[in-house]
Amino acid sequence: MTLTVAADRHASRIVDRAFAAVGPRGPAAFVWGDFVTAPGTVVTGAPGTWAPRPGGTPGLVVTARADEGVEIGGAPVDGEAVLFARAADGPTVARFRDGAEGVVFTYDDSKYALQVWNPNSDWARRFATISAYPYDPTWVVRGLVTPVSAGRTVAISHHRDPRPVEVPVVAEVRFAHDGEEHVLVATAPGPDQDGLILLFTDATSGPETYAAGRVLRIPTSLGSVTLDFNETALLPCAFSLAWNCPLPAAENALRIPVRAGERHAIDHDGKELL
């Protein structure tokens, strides 16, 4: 691939990412998400009240009046209705009068959250584009993915919750740049996602790029891999304060500047969104 072709693909990817950011499930469309663990729960951005299903059955129960504008499975809710977690069981999307949608989310089927999405949210309306570094071929490097000892974890805090939790480490990734070797720990992505994720900060975090860090996704494979840091992406919490993103562990704080990939979400005034 020529440098021109690679640079054009990089520019197109940034455009596509910006377009997707305000899509129905784009990061700027995320309004809020709350775990529903008790009857009568009020979720920001969602009409009615919400409750777990009896016995921990997957999904949630909504109680709403007809004039509150909740629709599930094409039918308006006037009383109680179930929002299912799995399409095989029944309707999985609740539609609200303001154009927002509610869906059920779970990490492990032990408890269920209602996520509210709206492509016309305040954040989506403010968002304009993504700023990024120009394509840099020197940041396409070879990496070595190696296994780690069983049971190894890393302490991860979250954007809205500073209390660290221990997260399993899947692998170590070693790479060299400008003659210096670096090591990052890889963790597993969220539900229904493939590959490994490298959450990291570097010397640009804050002065030049989103301060909380960025992420590079790589294939799930051991051995030699290509690491294209031009594909480094913003965390979802760069687009909306509703997100509770996992933040890079201390082990993944690179001392060098990684001037490649996405830098900031930008508003219509040309300013950083967050």
Mean pLDDT computed over 20-28 = 97
- For residue 174, name the pLDDT band (cuts at 50, 70, 90): very high
**Same domain for 221 and 135:** yes
**Same domain for 160 and 41:** no
**Same domain for 187 and 248:** yes
In a domain, 4, yes or no: no
The encoded tokens of residue 95 equal 């539609």
**Same domain for 105 and 141:** no
What's the start-to-end Cα distance of the chain, in Å? 35
In a domain, 140, yes or no: yes
In a domain, 95, yes or no: yes
pLDDT averaged over the chain? 96
In a domain, 113, yes or no: yes
Mean pLDDT computed over 83-97 = 97
- For residue 107, name the pLDDT band (cuts at 50, 70, 90): confident
**Same domain for 263 and 148:** yes
Q: Which of 250, 254, 248 is nearest to 235 (CA)?
A: 248
In a domain, 22, yes or no: no
Q: Which of 231, 236, 227, 266 is nearest to 13 (CA)?
A: 231
Q: What does the pLDDT read at residue 75? A: 97
In a domain, 228, yes or no: yes
**Same domain for 151 and 109:** no
**Same domain for 261 and 219:** yes
- For residue 239, name the pLDDT band (cuts at 50, 70, 90): very high
In a domain, 215, yes or no: yes
Range of the domain at 38: 27-125
**Same domain for 140 and 70:** no
**Same domain for 109 and 70:** yes
179-212 residue pLDDT tens: 999 999 999 987 778 899 999 999 999 999 999 9
Q: What does the pLDDT read at residue 160? A: 83
In a domain, 7, yes or no: no
pLDDT at 168 over 90: yes
**Same domain for 176 and 111:** no
The encoded tokens of residue 91 equal 């309707």
The string of DSSP letters for 62-115 reads: EEE-GGG-EEETTEE-SEEEEE-SSTTTS--EEEETTS-EEEEE-SSSSSEEEE
Question: How many structural domains are present in the chain?
Answer: 2
Mean pLDDT computed over 150-167 = 92
217-228 residue pLDDT tens: 999 989 999 999
Q: Which of 125, 140, 172 is the last residue of a domain?
A: 125
CA 177 – CA 183 distance, rounded (Å): 11
**Same domain for 105 and 136:** no
Q: Which of 125, 150, 180 is the last residue of a domain?
A: 125
Which residue do the tokens 């799930």 mark?
Answer: 220
**Same domain for 194 and 121:** no
Q: Which of 90, 125, 160 is the last residue of a domain?
A: 125
